[in-house]
Amino acid sequence: MLVRKHIEIQWPDAAVVDFKLDEDAPFPPGFAAAGHDAVVIVADPARQERTEKLVQDYSSRPEFAPLVYAVLGDAPSPQPATNHRVHRLYFRKINHLELVMALERASNEHRHQLASQRGQRAADKRYQFGDLTIRGHRCLSKLGAGGMCSVYLAESERAGRVVVLKVFSQVPDVSERIIGFDRFLQEYEIVAGLNHANIVRIYDLGVADDHAYIAMEHFAYGDLRQRMKAPLSPETALWYVKKIASALEAVHAVGILHRDLKPANIMLRGDGSPCLIDFGLAKAQDTDTELTGAREIFGTPYYMSPEQGHAEAVDERSDLYGLGVIFYEMLVGKKPYLGASAMEVIYKHKRSALPPIAPELQRYEPILQRLLAKSPAERFQSARALLDAIDALPEPA
């Protein structure tokens, strides 16, 4: 934080991206910080051994941006071997002039480094995503592919961080593909307009060679489904519900339904906080024609509301039902309704009573009963109503 202030005093328009050693995942192989003028690593004596390893790792990557390594302490004796790509600074109190001069040297080196790489075939390959070239994004690895999209781990030079790049197969030129393309673009339009701590961040949208792409936040710590493989305390489960309910309140406030709430669509940041992703099935509530077509069922049967499973009209109470299924699963350790087929599960959501929960969980019974009521009229009518009910829960005995 102190280094940021020194930088912003010298360069008020500087874009500074912070990474915390104990919260943010290390940069993956291939990441080069190419969008940064320099990378500053600050270490106190208690963490110096750990940060030294990071310095050695990053400085050994041929394309990595020059490093300014600031150690809050006295210089060791003897000092480490000279490395022209690492500008070492030692001081008990940050010296503004020394820091600025080191950053200017590093920045000049980086400009020369990038200029020498420009136009080289090996450097151009960094921007290849399959047969597609997307300038400004460096491909790190391919994560997967579906019917409409391919998904990559990439370095965004503009955002200066690791992102997930979702690439649409091609801008459609025939009517049957317009539905999928509109849904893809809608994911960006919904999320880019929101600024909420528990909603995925979108960094970029573009079109390259007739292919649309979205660059969004990368979650190195997995999803709620993975977290649920280990037991969760009721208090932790309730905390997750509050965070996701808050995200749904923001989404619903702009007239959007998620429609595919499930643990795999709730990612975790380094600090453990949950984040809602994947708005590909989301739909504006005031749209006359559903993108999915008439009486088609989209979503995951285990988490579908009775009305969604039967292709009936849905509203924000349907998302709250899905959150209720997740809450039940976190508390009990299994889904409330199972079946040999998707249709059997859908039928149980509509007709079967909610399985009982253990006596020690009875404190949460009123919340579950209202979230998972068969009739939308008997559920919480909004995410805010759910949050108020959680706040009103009596303290555990």
Better-scored residue on pLDDT, 118 or 8: 8
pLDDT value at residue 78: 81
In the annotation, is 391 catalytic? no
Are residues 215 and 202 in contact, defined by beta-carbon separation less than 8 angstroms? yes
Strand partners, 35: none
pLDDT value at residue 288: 36
Closest of 317, 319, 303, 326 to residue 236, by C-alpha: 326
Better-scored residue on pLDDT, 311 or 244: 244
Residue 394 has pLDDT above 90, yes or no: no
Are residues 245 and 380 in contact, defined by beta-carbon separation less than 8 angstroms? no
First to last CA, the chain: 42
b (16+ CB within 10 A) / e for 251-284: bbeeebbbbbbbbebbbbbeeeebbbbbbbbbbe
pLDDT, tens digit (0-9, with 9 covering 90-100), for 343-362: 999 999 999 999 999 999 99
pLDDT, tens digit (0-9, with 9 covering 90-100), for 50-78: 888 889 999 999 889 999 999 888 887 88
Are residues 257 and 314 in contact, defined by beta-carbon separation less than 8 angstroms? yes
Where do we find the tokens 């091609």?
A: 170
Phi, psi torsion values for 105, nearest 5 degrees: -65, -45
User: Which pLDDT band holds residue 252 (cuts at 50, 70, 90)?
Assistant: very high
Q: Name which of 90-99, 225-234, 244-253, 283-292 the model is least confident about.
A: 283-292
Query: Could you please report the per-residue DSSP string of 41-65?
Result: EEE-GGGHHHHHHHHHHHHTSTTSP
Phi, psi torsion values for 389, nearest 5 degrees: -65, -40
pLDDT value at residue 69: 92
| Average pLDDT over every residue of 332-345 | 95
pLDDT value at residue 287: 39
Helix axes 383-391, 316-332, angle to 10 degrees: 40
User: Which pLDDT band holds residue 178 (cuts at 50, 70, 90)?
Assistant: low
Residue 234 has pLDDT above 60, yes or no: yes
User: Which pLDDT band holds residue 196 (cuts at 50, 70, 90)?
Assistant: very high
pTM of the model: 0.84
Better-scored residue on pLDDT, 183 or 126: 126
Percent of the chain at pLDDT > 90 equals 55
pLDDT value at residue 367: 98
pLDDT value at residue 170: 64
Are residues 371 and 323 in contact, defined by beta-carbon separation less than 8 angstroms? yes
Are residues 214 and 204 in contact, defined by beta-carbon separation less than 8 angstroms? yes
Say yes or no: domain 132-217 is CATH 3.30.200.20: yes
| Average pLDDT over every residue of 372-376 | 97
pLDDT value at residue 79: 77
User: Which pLDDT band holds residue 17 (cuts at 50, 70, 90)?
Assistant: confident
b (16+ CB within 10 A) / e for 358-378: eeeeeebeebbebbbbbebee
Residue 24 has pLDDT above 90, yes or no: no
Residue 291 has pLDDT above 60, yes or no: no
| Catalytic site residue from 37, 204, 223, 260 | 260
Alpha helices in 172-233 (DSSP H): 178-192, 224-227
Give the rounded distance of the alpha carbon of 211 from its chain centre.
22
Q: Is 91 helix (H, G, I), strand (E, B) or coil?
A: coil
Better-scored residue on pLDDT, 83 or 320: 320
Residue 385 has pLDDT above 50, yes or no: yes
Q: Name which of 78-82, 225-229, 237-241, 362-366 the model is least confident about.
A: 78-82
Report the alpha-carbon distance of residue 30 to residue 357 in Å, rounded.
48
Structure tokens at 146: 């579906």
Amino acid in position 226: Q
Find all residues with CB under 8 Å of 3, minimum gap 6, and list them. 40, 42, 70, 94, 99
Where do we find the tokens 């009936």?
A: 312
Write down the domain spans for the chain.
2-121, 132-217, 224-391
pLDDT value at residue 49: 82
pLDDT, tens digit (0-9, with 9 covering 90-100), for 34-45: 889 999 998 877
Residue 381 has pLDDT above 60, yes or no: yes
pLDDT value at residue 82: 74
User: Which pLDDT band holds residue 172 (cuts at 50, 70, 90)?
Assistant: low
pLDDT value at residue 181: 65
| Average pLDDT over every residue of 301-310 | 94
Better-scored residue on pLDDT, 88 or 22: 88
> Cβ of 249: how many Cβ atoms within 10 Å?
18
Report the alpha-carbon distance of residue 199 to residue 222 in Å, rounded.
15
| Average pLDDT over every residue of 210-214 | 85
Query: Could you please report the per-residue DSSP string of 354-393?
Result: PPP--GGGGGGHHHHHHHT-SSGGGS-SSHHHHHHHHHTS
Report the alpha-carbon distance of residue 166 to residue 154 in Å, rounded.
10
Say yes or no: domain 224-391 is CATH 1.10.510.10: yes
CA distances from 227 to 138, 210, 221, 233, 385 (A): 30, 38, 9, 12, 27
What HEC string does 71-87 produce? ECCCCCCCCCCCCCCEE
Where do we find the tokens 């998620």?
A: 258
Closest of 139, 132, 131 to residue 156, by C-alpha: 139
Mean pLDDT of the chain: 87
